[in-house]
Amino acid sequence: MRKSVFILSIHALCAIVLLAAQVLLAEVSATFTATVGAESDFPIALQGDSVEFWLEDMEIEVTGLPDNEYCIANVENISYTWMVNENVYGSGSQATVNSAAPGGTHTGHDTLETLGVHKIAFSGAGNVDVFYEANNAGIVHLGFPISCYAEANFGIAKLILVTPHGDPINNAYPATGPYDGVPTCNEFSFDDSLPNGVLGIRLMAEVQPLEIRQYFNVGNVSFTIDSVGNAAPSYSASRWSPEPDVVWRRYILCDATIIGLPANNSDFGLKTAKMYYKGSLVAENNYEVFYDRDATNHPPCSNCSNCPNCSNCPNCSNCSNCSNCSNCSNCPNCPNWFYYWKQESNYNNSNLKYVDLDFIAKAPGMTDWHYETEPDKHLVLFGRKFTKEVIAYGIGEYFSGIDSFMSVIEHELKHIEQIENADVYLWSKCGGKNNYDTFRFGWSWNRYIHNHWAKGPDGEWGDAGVDDDGDGIIDNAVPIPFLLPSTPFELGYRLSDDINLEYPGYQDFPRTWTVLTSGLYCTVHPIEAEAIKASDDTIDEHQFARKDWGNPGKNHGTNNKWND
């Protein structure tokens, strides 16, 4: 490494009066000079490091001698001493001052333990022998001592990583936390800006002690933070703090920025910030990264392209070709909580979708069943009225935040299971899934005129041999009973012996299923009772808390508190 050199004005002038027997009195002077090298004008070492000094261009010049043809000057027995606080740190042409590492126990005089500005003193001493011919009177021998002395200042400093600071898991500072009266934090969140959220982290370091800061080169300090997903950080130059709430030249600041939320929920969470001095790692501390829970600036929702049950295109089987639904292709207003929480569900993500409509959540295969078009029987939809706290129907267990989301998924998945089982039951009783009749889309739900029928003893639909619905066809099951209720439905006609497959007293609940009678489950419709129990049996409050990286959320601020 190329090092800069400075001159400490090390010099000594010694005027010597020399008495030589039987020769002319000569006045001779000698100057001892040297250049001292160090890495900067005011070298500073951190605790545990060292500062090096060395001599360059040493020269001893003897002046005042007669201009003679014969003159020889010899320097003998030169000694060098480097001292700091009266302790010797070197005896050659260079010296190394070692600084004690933080928190260690040190012995010996070659380790400097005190922070602050220090002075190193160099002294050199020796003898000069001069031989010259004086006025043809013979060789004159002059001998005399020489010495020099010089001082230089240097510093021993301590760098403290102030932000991030502390334990982000057990002692979180989401916004500002105390560090000697100065705001700091160890939890950082992407903002809600569109289209790409921005993560800004102001890294801060303190220089100790106070008196050394005027000499400290802030350019020697640098910082790094971890990437978030595929987004790498950018950094401002390190600088002294000019902010009015931060003491001038006490803190070094650096702004780190990451643009764009990551695609994966696992990309959030625990990260590490590091601080370097002259390229060497000095300190590091953990912090946590979050997203704005209720913002909508996550990456695009590619699986929302079909825009199910869009308000502009109700019951449309494929909205991608519908001009009214073109603005739904990117899942408008899909919140970050939905985008990231669904990744932690065991259910197929392509079957979990969000729509910007006024409901909490539903399984369209049950809630939106109709005779005209078969609904998606594997889809679970969340709406904008989803709440972060839930006690299903007032009788289920309490869930909050991400665990509320997971409990609702389990609730709706039970409905999907009920749909599948009811279809199998119906088709086993009606003769199978026919190509084009009232049973083609399976067990009907939420229909006043239902298809929950099996043929009675006469082996025909409705009253055997009678065109009950007046459509010109005797004993048939029409695909769409669109004239109801003004025109009778052939199935289950009041004069028929058709068998009702519903459980007595419970609409849409198959006759062969078991009604829950334990606890509070018996107080609600058995379809919902089964779903509530499935959720209660599968999910525990805080089960998914460590997967929640929303702000607010269960990892943010107070652990397990969904709204902190």
Q: What's the confidence (pLDDT) of residue 73?
A: 72
Q: Which helix (H) or strand (E) holds 201?
A: strand 198-208
171 has a pLDDT exceeding 60: yes
Backbone angles phi, psi at 142, to 5 degrees: -115, 135
Pairing mode, strands 380-382 and 352-354: parallel
Q: What's the confidence (pLDDT) of residue 345?
A: 94
Q: What is the pLDDT of residues 93-150, one digit of tens each?
A: 889 998 888 765 544 556 788 899 999 988 888 888 888 776 666 787 877 788 888 8
Comparing 446 with 66, the larger pLDDT belongs to 446
Q: Quick one: pLDDT band at residue 518, thresholds 50, 70, 90?
A: confident
- Least confident range of 4-18, 46-60, 142-156, 515-529: 4-18
Q: What's the confidence (pLDDT) of residue 104?
A: 57
CA pair distance 37, 31, nearest whole angstrom: 20
Mean pLDDT, range 59-69, rounded to an integer:
74
Determine the distance from the C-alpha atom of residue 319 to the mean position of all C-alpha atoms in its chain, rounded to a whole number: 37
Q: What is the pLDDT of residues 189-246, one digit of tens each?
A: 999 999 889 999 999 999 999 889 889 999 999 999 999 999 999 999 999 987 655 5
Mean pLDDT, range 411-437, rounded to an integer:
94
Backbone angles phi, psi at 393, to 5 degrees: 55, 20
Q: What's the confidence (pLDDT) of residue 460?
A: 94
* Peptide bond before residue 299 is cis, with ω within 30 degrees of 0: no
Closest of 26, 8, 9 to residue 17, by C-alpha: 26
- Least confident range of 195-199, 346-350, 455-459, 523-527: 346-350
Comparing 439 with 305, the larger pLDDT belongs to 439
264 has a pLDDT exceeding 60: yes
- Least confident range of 59-73, 227-241, 294-308, 397-411: 294-308
Closest of 516, 548, 277 to residue 403, by C-alpha: 548
CA pair distance 186, 125, nearest whole angstrom: 57
Q: What's the confidence (pLDDT) of residue 396?
A: 96
Instruction: Identify how many contiguous H helices and E strands the chain contains and give both numbers.
Output: 4, 30
Mean pLDDT, range 401-420, rounded to an integer:
97
The second-level CATH assignment, the architecture, of 164-292 is Sandwich (2.60)
Please answer whether residues 427 and 439 qualify as being in contact, where contact means their C-beta atoms are separated by less than 8 angstroms: yes
527 has a pLDDT exceeding 90: yes
Please answer whether residues 285 and 186 qualify as being in contact, where contact means their C-beta atoms are separated by less than 8 angstroms: yes
Q: Which residue has the tokens 């009811």?
A: 422
Q: What's the confidence (pLDDT) of residue 458?
A: 94
302 has a pLDDT exceeding 50: yes
Please answer whether residues 354 and 382 qualify as being in contact, where contact means their C-beta atoms are separated by less than 8 angstroms: yes
CA pair distance 269, 189, nearest whole angstrom: 10
Q: What is the pLDDT of residues 312-337, one digit of tens each?
A: 444 444 444 443 333 334 467 899 99
Determine the distance from the C-alpha atom of residue 289 to the mean position of all C-alpha atoms in its chain, rounded to a whole number: 3
Determine the distance from the C-alpha atom of residue 492 to the mean position of all C-alpha atoms in its chain, rounded to a whole number: 62
Helix axis angle, 526-538 to 401-430, nearest 10°: 130
Considering the entire predicted model, what is its pTM? Answer: 0.82
- Least confident range of 57-66, 148-157, 517-526, 539-548: 57-66
Query: For the chain, which residues make up each domain, given as ranges?
Result: 10-156, 164-292, 335-452+501-551
Mean pLDDT, range 480-491, rounded to an integer:
76
